[in-house]
């Protein structure tokens, strides 16, 4: 397993479990999320925490790695997300994310939602 693959799985674990205590060791101080959160620019560990908290506002949030390709510094991952939104609607979605790591921490993220299904 490459370092980027192992780190990607730890980042996904944060979203899946809400383990925000892992953020300082995994997210670089100069982290940039090119996807953002709505119109909000996301930078650094505090910005990453805001995204995690926004995701975790739903109930029963669960995230799984469907596909993962990585070298030592970069990873491309397809994720499946499941949860219940604030209106009580079950939502599943799939994302494609690209991550860049440096010195054992996440430095950059680009993401795209592939589909969303509400039941």
Of 23, 29, 24, 49, the C-alpha closest to 37 is: 49
Q: Does residue 21 have a pLDDT over 70?
A: yes
pLDDT > 70 in the chain, percent: 96
The answer to whether 113 and 93 are in contact (CB under 8 A) is yes
Q: Which domain holds residue 93?
A: 3-118
**What pLDDT is stored for residue 113 in this prediction?**
81
Of 41, 113, 46, the C-alpha closest to 81 is: 113
* pLDDT, tens only, 29-83: 999 999 988 788 899 999 999 999 998 887 889 999 999 999 999 999 999 999 9
Of residues 113 and 21, more confidently modeled: 21
Collapse the DSSP code of 87 into the 3-class scheme (helix H, G, I; strand E, B; otherwise coil) and give the result: coil
Q: How confident is the model at residue 5 (pLDDT cuts 50, 70, 90)?
A: very high
User: What total of structural domains would you count in the chain?
Assistant: 1
CATH of the domain at 111: 3.10.450.50
Q: What is the pTM of this model?
A: 0.91
CA distance 56 to 5: 23
**What pLDDT is stored for residue 115 in this prediction?**
67
Give kind and range of the element (H or E) at residue 45: helix 44-56
Angle at 70 between CA 77 and CA 60, to 5 degrees: 30
């Amino acid at each position: 397993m490459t370092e980027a693959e192992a780190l990607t799985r730890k980042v996904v674990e944060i979203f899946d479990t809400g383990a925000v205590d892992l953020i300082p060791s995994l997210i670089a101080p100069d982290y940039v999320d090119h996807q953002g959160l709505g119109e909000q620019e996301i930078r650094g560990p505090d910005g990453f925490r805001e995204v995690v908290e926004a995701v975790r506002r739903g109930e029963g949030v669960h995230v799984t790695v469907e596909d993962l390709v990585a070298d030592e510094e970069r990873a491309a991952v397809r994720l499946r997300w499941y949860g219940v939104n604030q209106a009580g609607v079950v939502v599943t979605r799939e994302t494609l994310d690209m991550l860049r790591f440096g010195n054992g921490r996440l430095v950059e993220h680009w993401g795209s939602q592939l589909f969303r299904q509400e039941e």
